[in-house]
Structure 1
Amino acid sequence: MCGAKTEADMPVEVYWCDNCITPIIREVNSIDKEVCPHCGGEARHLGADLRPVFPEERLLVEILFGKPLEYINKSVWVSNNRYFIDGKLKALPLKTFEKADADKIAQQLLKYKQKNSYEHFNKSIKTFVKANKNRLDYLQSEAFSFINSAVEKYPPENIVISFSGGKDSTVTADLVVRALSNPSIVHIFGDTTLEFPLTMEYAKRFRTENPMSIFKTAKNKEQDFYKVCEDIGPPARMMRWCCYMFKTGPITRVLNNMYNNVNILTFYGIRKSESVSRSKYKRIEDDAETIKIQRQTVASPIFFWKDIDIWLYLLGEDLDFNDAYRLGYDRVGCWCCPNNSTRAQFLSKIYMPEQSKKWRQFLVEFSKSIGKLDAEVYVDTGKWRARQGGNGVVAAEDVKIHFTNCTTENNAKVYRLNKPVTDELIDMFIPFGNQHSELGRKLINEKIIVDAKTNIPIISIQPFEQDGYENAVKIKTMNVKKHDVLQRMIGYQIKKYNACRKCLKCESLCKYGAISISGERYTIDEKKCKKCKMCVTAKYLEGGCMMEKFLKTK
């Protein structure tokens, strides 16, 4: 691929040289994989991946082991919660984090902070970089080749780097700028409002240190995270509405403003080894079902890299990076993400005590509101993260489509609305065809939608009075072969009208920038809409509205 043999053909694992006291990255099929390339001595297999433990995290681990500063002159690495002290395994069970008193640990960290040192760590890292120089040269060369091949069909102004403030996006940004010899590439930073304080500090440093880059910040200023949580419930592992509302949606808006209908190439720091879902991606991806923001092709230069590769590049190239990694975080997305590990949650109790306590208290109160009798246990054991649907949430009623079949007309349904019929509802039908108000019966305020190609009427929309429905609309389909299919898609738009929480998923889904949410109104631009119907197709939008996934009940 892209002019060079890819790492996908050459899987690697980590070995350890007891002579150099450092990890070695070796190809699985290499004949001399058990030989240290630095000293020529014997190297033994250690594991699939590894990351360095910085002095800040090392001190924390020492305190948890009851041995402050015990390993200050040793090379410490970790894989999950398996720590290697000069190559010897010392596991730290998850229960250690669950049982430890965060306040007391914080006091001890402060007590020993002045005695902590980077002296031995820096020496160890120099050895690590020297021992793996060939690997570093290969990673850089292969990535440069991939990047230059990926941009062949795109002018420089249509190339974007997605910058999250994490280690992967930092490496990706450096690779792309260097490979293309272009320091003026657009960087998009998604400020979710839930970033680690250290992430915001790093983003600020990055902007200062890269003055020629076009650095754009995408932020949803219209939504408050806690207020949305009160309305539809906190995000959970399978229901991360926050990603669309606070990251993907705002980034879409920035891209739409900058590029309008132009196709762009975005470089992402996506890695195959990060998760099962990401392992299914392609290194260059443009499939509408896979990418979150349409009208872009996503390219991932570090797709096949391991954690240890990332750190080899960062430390070998002496790059600045997010200081949260020094504390022991292995990922730096939203600090309260339901996907965060037990260790990450423990770290936040230490380094973000006020935010952590506020979040826990909210979770406990929410759990009580949905009927959890053991609310504190439900929260502290992490069961809230496995929550699915809107059981117990008042807003769940909005995603239920209530209708009756009209008794006087065929293929007509009367839908219950939770607000009066307005132009916003009528505009929801733009994806189906064109509005022809003059064809509708004015006495009953009927609106007619005609097929965009044939101009034949296909939908009649009429405000309606129905017993038990305070607000209702009668919608009739006509002159179509499959009335049930069209009515199902119409139901999706009714659901959007009743349940829209401005999650911004629809904005990201539309290839043509026709959908926008301004203030409290969901708007479809008739001039931009191409009638592709992606926004009313379950293949691209399950249940026709993202709120269906977050609020549906059993």
Structure 2
Amino acid sequence: CCKVVKLAPILDAINARFKEKPVLSIVGQRKYESIARAFSPSVWTNKWLPGVISTTPIQEWTALQVWLYLFLEKAEINELYFQGFDRLGCWLCPASEVAELQLVAKRYPKLWSRWESYLESFRKAHGLDRDWIRFHLWRWKELPGDQRRLLGDKARKSLEEPTLDILIVKGEGVSKVSFKHSYLGELVLRVPPSDLVYLVIDSLKRVDNFLEMYVENIRVTCDSRFYNIYTDDDEAVKKIATSLAKITIRVNYCLRCKLCVNNCPSNAILLDESGQMRFLREKCTKCYICNEKCPLLSFLSIQTKVLDKLE
């Protein structure tokens, strides 16, 4: 979530205000805030913020030093710090302590009720135990060792990294391909598609009740469940299937975070005034950096299975 709701807007703001790079970003983080920050250098770069050098001048400060400085400068202080909150940011941040989440629930019951309703529906959809909500296990995709030891059997089931299964069924001159995402379910291309499909697809049109397209001069059709790739070249089928899987996810579930826009070296992608992603084919160099920067794909484990017939 940090990539979408924090880093992406930061990069968007930096690109809008500073045309020359690098840009120096001064951050107020300290090593005492978390284990990860304890080992963080005082100057660093982030792959999600190209052209930005970050530094924290208060890396070695204690909380007491921060408060003494604020009082010395008579700085305005958020009142929530005096009501038990240790850190302020997104109200449902998974980096929060349980005590802070309980404070949120007490102070903002309507907000918290909405969040718990979402967690409950997600829990049911993915077969998770009620303890997943009770012990706030949603804060991790994989439980750290201490929490796992503390909870014992209650920690036996947690979320895994998202996976995408590509199933290829070989046929005579055509292979049927289907995609299943561990969280999103079965995937097919929606219509009308975003311009982004042309990152992979050379041409696209609707024929009766299916889509017909060409990818690397190979005919592909798409119905309500399958992509049909018309070639006997097994390697080409795998390559096209992987490309179609990625672009299907990006088109169907685009978060409008603009990370692809702000990382494209040739400015081939833009977000128009209506909120639609636009792809400028004449500018694209097929570097696929946009795929690398897409948060929907960056942690996705792709597995391909080839069968001679449907199971």
After TM superposition, the score normalised by the length of structure 1 is: 0.40
Number of the residue aligned with 2:289: 534
For structure 1, the 5+ residue unaligned runs are 1-240, 438-443, 449-458
Equivalence map 1:320-469=2 (5 Å): 320-372=76-128, 375=130, 377-387=131-141, 399-405=164-170, 407-408=172-173, 414=177, 417-420=188-191, 422=193, 424-429=195-200, 447=214, 459-460=216-217, 462-464=219-221
Counterpart-to-counterpart distance in 2, 1:482 and 1:462: 12
Distance in 2 separating the partners of 1:502 and 1:347: 31
Alignment of 1:11-410 (within 5 A): 241=1, 243-259=2-18, 262-286=21-45, 290-372=46-128, 375=130, 377-387=131-141, 399-405=164-170, 407-408=172-173
In structure 2, relative to structure 1, the CA distance for the partners of 1:403 and 1:522 (3 Å cut) is farther
Q: Identify the structure with bigger relative contact order (alpha carbons < 8 Å, sequence gap 6+).
A: 2
- Alpha-carbon separation, structure 2, partners of 1:305 and 1:297: 21
SS at match of 1:339: coil
The letter of the residue matching 1:548 is L
Deviation at 1:413, TM superposition (A): 8.0
Per-residue CA deviation, residues 276-323 of structure 1 (Å, 9 max, x unaligned), is 33345433323xxx3432232223222333323322321222222222
Per-residue CA distance 1:183-226 (angstroms, 9 max, x = gap): xxxxxxxxxxxxxxxxxxxxxxxxxxxxxxxxxxxxxxxxxxxx
For residues 487 and 272 of structure 1, do their structure 2 counterparts lie closer, same or farther at Cα, with a shift above 3 Å needed?
Answer: farther
Structure 1 residues 256 and 370: CA distance shift in structure 2, 3 A:
same
Q: CA deviation at 1:465?
A: 5.5
Shift of 1:421: 8.0
Rounded Cα–Cα distance in structure 1 between residues aligned with 2:266 and 2:20: 6
In structure 2, how many angstroms separate the alpha carbons of the residues matched to 1:318 and 1:477?
73
Q: Which residue of 1 aligns with 2:208?
A: none
Deviation at 1:336, TM superposition (A): 1.7
Q: Output one character per residue of 1:427-450: Cα deviation in whole Å (capped at 9) or x when no partner.
A: 2239xxxx6x7xxxxxx97656xx
SS for the counterpart of 1:363 is: helix
Return the offset for 1:334: 1.0
- Alpha carbons of structure 1 residues 445 and 503: separation in structure 2 relative to 1, 3 Å: same
Aligned to 1:167: none
Cα displacement string for residues 329-351 of structure 1 (whole angstroms, at most 9, x for unaligned residues): 11001112222112212322343
1:332 partner letter: L
Kindly state the Cα deviation for residue 501 of structure 1 after the two structures are TM-superposed: 4.0
Task: Decide whether the 8 Å contact of 2:266 with 2:285 is kept in 1.
Answer: yes
| TM-score under structure 2 length normalisation | 0.64
1:493 matched to 2:247? The reply is: yes
1:545 matched to which residue of 2? 297
1:476 deviates by 7.3
Residues in 2 aligned to 1:295 and 1:334: alpha-carbon distance in whole angstroms: 26
Q: Which has the higher helix share?
A: 1
* Cα distance in 2 for residues equivalent to 1:463 and 1:486: 9
What are structure 2's unaligned runs of at least 5 residues? Answer: 143-156, 180-187, 204-210, 304-311
Q: 1:487 to 1:380 in 2, by over 3 A?
A: closer
1:465-505, Cα deviation, whole Å (9 max, x unpaired):
57xx5463638799xx9997787556433442344344544
Counterpart CA distance in 1 for 2:111 and 2:23 is 37
Matches of 1:498 and 1:400, distance apart in 2 = 17
Structure 2 CA distance for aligned equivalents of residues 369 and 313 of structure 1: 48
Equivalent-residue separation in structure 1 for 2:28 and 2:231 (angstroms): 48
Structure 1 CA distance for aligned equivalents of residues 34 and 232 of structure 2: 44
Number of equivalenced pairs: 270
Identity %: 22
SS in 2 for 1:272: coil
